[in-house]
Chain A
Amino acid sequence: MGVVDTQRLTKQYPRVRALDDLTLSIPEGITGIVGVNGAGKSTLIKVLLGLLTPTDGSVRVLGMDPVTQGAQVRELVGYMPEHDVLPADVSAAEFVMHMAMMSGLPRNAARERTSDVLRHVGLAEERHRAMGGYSTGMKQRAKLAQAIVHSPQLVLLDEPTNGLDPRARDEMLDLIGRIGHDFGISVAVTSHLLGELERTVDYVVVIDAGRLLRASPTTDLTHTTGNVLVEVLGPPGSDQVVGQALVDRGIQAWPVGDRIEVRLDRPETLDVIRDVVVAQGLGLVRIQEVHHSLEEVFHQAPTGVSA
């Protein structure tokens, strides 16, 4: 049993069916929830928090039913919303501590954990400044801090990298990785940037129009294609020379930019590549396995449904 399990979960709004017969399981660790806007991600989060009652089906969060045990579920679940939720005129230290107490931590524990958590998310001197003056990156950190300050067992992160510059995005992803792997808090993170998720998450759930399209470990989705990418060092056109030499030996090879992608039918092909490069008197910079990207998987998903 995972940290979240849903069985034929359905949420019918007057006009829209936001969740449609959704059966999924989110295991411990970091899970990416992928879906286009309007796929039902937010509805799912609301149901998991016990703020929406599903029309049909059942849902368990940390072994509890959020419909009847909403308060207990919310005590052990953290939530970082997508949009801005921070009051501009309060400092992060005060705010996060207040939120810790609102989750049921006694005052002293709340104070201690606030200072710990703000250090973990990397808000140092700024913690005593009003949050209205924070950069987007700092705001996201403060939002993350309030989501984990009460020592939850599961944290739901809604588009945590939205609006961040590349560096801040990398830092946020590292932070999510630490939360999931080092802090021992299970993470469910939504994003529409698949490249990001690929790096961080252990498990991917793809939903579309309230239905489950796919659920599998990231490694299964990004398994090797059986091809390698070869990069050689030499005068211009060296790659074409090597590529031609490989094709002459009956090996499938084709250019990708200024590198050569080679189909590995047998392990010995690797030796052949090495020999060919050496024979041409060129330098072999690297031979790299080619993986599927989540992007490809996602685009294929509608045809290759595996629930």
Chain B
Amino acid sequence: MSTPRQSVIHDIGYRTFTGRRQSTGAIALSLYLTSLRHCFGLGRSNKSKVMPFLVAALMLIPALVLAGLAIQLKRMSLGDQANYFAPLSNYFGYPYWTQLLITVFAASQAPVLFARDLRYRTIVLYFARPLDRSTYVLVRLAALTTALFAVIAVPMVIWYAAALSSGLDRSQHTKNFFAAIVGVLVLSLILATFSGMVSAITTRSGLAVVAVIVALMLTSGIVTIAQGAVYETGNKSAAMIASMFNPFTLVAELISGLFDQPTPTPAIPHPSTGWTLVFIIVALIWVIGTSWVLVERIRKAASL
């Protein structure tokens, strides 16, 4: 019985999706992995791969030098060896002395995750999808934190591996290394939230890059000058208060106090238990305060 139909759909190509949809957890994971790739320019233009990989490569150089030193140590005179023992086990000195590179990485990659979606208002499309707004921000933060952590920690692992294989004091190196790794994690988190917040507020990538670098390097410079000035007078409290205003010095103080670690420079005093508690609170304020501003900013900017 084939009665010719009045209307014939010629394009029958449209198919509905009948498979299982993924959970919001899987969606969050997918966003995390994409964001992490984007931090290194993967899945973006070739031009955007230059900066992250350049910084990552430059970050390796001091580690390779330190690793070389550790391996060559046995061939040196005892006097020379003694000179190198302290710097070779000061693992948190690594992020402290490479802070310019780390700052550049954070400043150049945070806008990729936090400014673009606001600038182009793509954020609206994310929020019209299953992930809720806070999860979106936290996933982005986790990705940036991971990228920063990887850029800092990989060279440190190389350095640590070389130190282990060169007959240096294993227990001391292991303790310092893991203490520094905890510090790097906290530092990555603070840098991610801070640079993310600045990016979300400025929404312009170029402006965000400059703002993050200026904010971090300026405070770093001021803190260093202030600490240098009070170092002469021996006023430890003033030096420690100054430390709170820059993530690098703050985390240096934090792990110095928590794990009984040497600080990267003598100008940063080793804190007492009481001061360590203060540094824990200040670190929490850095992370939670900036995250809160970031989440609020993005929620607000994304009103359709």
Contact = CB atoms under 8 A, between A and B. Distances in A.
Interface of A: 42, 45-46, 49, 51, 70-72, 74-75, 77-79, 81, 83-89, 94, 98-99, 101-107, 109, 113, 116, 119-120, 146, 150-151, 178, 182-184
A102 B14 contact: no
B43 interface: yes
Contact of B22 (A46, A106, A116): A106
A116 B13 contact: yes
Interface in B14-64: 14-17, 19-24, 26-27, 30-31, 34, 43-45
Contacts of B129: 74-75, 99, 102-103
11 contacts: A70-B132, A75-B129, A85-B120, A86-B122, A88-B120, A102-B27, A102-B125, A104-B23, A104-B24, A151-B16, A183-B14
Contacts of A75: 21, 129-130
Contacts of A109: 17, 19
Contacts of A74: 128-130
Interface residues of B, number: 37
Interface of B, helix, strand, loop or mixed by DSSP? loop
Contacts of B178: none
A182 B14 CA distance: 8
Given A71-B130, A85-B122, A182-B9, A102 B19 contact: no
Contacts of A107: 30
B132 to A, nearest CB: 7
Contact of A103 (B15, B23, B120, B130): B130
Contact of A51 (B20, B31, B45, B127): B127
Nearest to B28: A102
A116 B304 contact: no
Most chain B CB inside 10 Å of its own CB: which residue of A42, A88, A98: A98
A37 B45 CA distance: 39
Contacts of A87: 116-117, 120, 122
B32 to A, nearest CB: 12
A46 to B, nearest CB: 6
Nearest to A77: B128
Given A45-B304, A74-B128, A116 B27 contact: no
B124 A104 contact: no
Nearest to B302: A51
Which of B26, B30, B131: most chain A Cβ within 10 A? Answer: B30
Given A79-B125, A85-B120, A101 B17 contact: no
Nearest to B17: A151
B130 A120 contact: no
Given A81-B121, A84-B121, 12 more contacts: A71-B130, A79-B125, A81-B128, A85-B120, A85-B125, A98-B34, A102-B27, A102-B125, A103-B130, A104-B22, A106-B19, A120-B14
Nearest to B31: A102
B26 A104 contact: yes
A1 B130 CA distance: 24
A262 to B, nearest CB: 31
A119 B14 CA distance: 10
A104 B125 contact: no
A89 B116 CA distance: 10
A150 B30 CA distance: 15
A102 B30 contact: yes
Contact of B21 (A46, A77, A83, A104): A104
Given A71-B24, A74-B128, A86 B34 contact: no
Given A99-B129, A103-B129, A51 B304 contact: yes
Nearest to A113: B17
B27 A101 contact: yes
B11 interface: yes
Interface string B104-123: 00000000000011001110
Contacts of A98: 34
Contacts of A103: 21, 27, 129-130
Given A89-B44, A94-B43, A81 B125 contact: yes
B275 to A, nearest CB: 45
A98 B127 CA distance: 14
Contact of B124 (A71, A81, A101, A150): A81
A102 B11 CA distance: 28
A157 to B, nearest CB: 12
Nearest to B135: A71
Contacts of A94: 43
B126 interface: yes
